[in-house]
Amino acid sequence: MKKNTSQADAAGTLTLGSDLTVNRLGYGAMRITGEGIWGPPKDKTEAIRTLKRTLDLGINFIDTADSYGPHISEELIAEALHPYPDDLVIATKGGLTRTGPNQWPINGHPDHLREALEGSLKRLRLERIDLYQLHRFDPEVPIEDTLGFLKEQQDRGLIRHLGLSEVSVAQIRQAQELGVEVVSVQNMYNFAQQKWNDVLDWCAQNGAAFIPWYPLASGNLAAEKALEQVAQKHRATSYQVALAWLLQRSPAMLPIPGTGSVKHLEENTAAASLHLDDEDLKVLSRT
């Protein structure tokens, strides 16, 4: 399988809301931070090169959050890519705080979300966030308060579209009942962990994007024999097959593999042009 020549547009497109069309293979910017998603990356130069290379490869959807670093990921995106191309969609998230490496307390209080949103706008050098996603429902804060605040900011023009993360279909419907148009759902999903099939189906049926975070399980898919079997047939890697499988799993799927390495970014993007036939999908079937 040839590397470094495939473009993200080979994955096809989907539209967020009714006005933002992006290629279905995006980029997750969590891994351009330090260990434990804390502090700056070990190699800032390579992180900047990786961000710039996303545009060369046709990637026009980048996912980040104020909590990545914290703040580091958003700052690096702006440093590398601002002024942004007209077709680039930067999605960010709020609703988590950071108390140390690998620590992610939930905070859905409007006061925290206001600080998070204002900070993201400033760091990303934007007047409006194209897609702002709530990291988690906070059990300590009435969801009416959390979503009411976000809807107010959308009405003010600071947010174009709203999305949710780690939610069930029932929670999505609860948000809809509160007047939120949910254009994306970002739940953990990969070849080895397919808990959220019902949410994926809801997204496909309702025109929303399903953004699988942890799409490569942080490199822990190598032990999946079915992936390796198909990879050998296509002279690809198991991770490329895992991404190709996600893309073919549903037209609502918008994978966002993350890396701080140009080499790995190019390998991931090459998966956009890898077509799995019926025989491959039978091998990969988990039923």
Q: Is position 68 annotated as part of the catalytic site?
A: yes
Question: What CA–CA distances, in Å, run from 44 to 33, 49, 77?
Answer: 9, 9, 11
Q: How many CB atoms lie within 10 A of CB 35?
A: 10
Question: What CA–CA distances, in Å, run from 40 to 35, 48, 68?
Answer: 9, 12, 10
Catalytic member of 68, 189, 214, 239: 68
What residues are labeled active site? 68
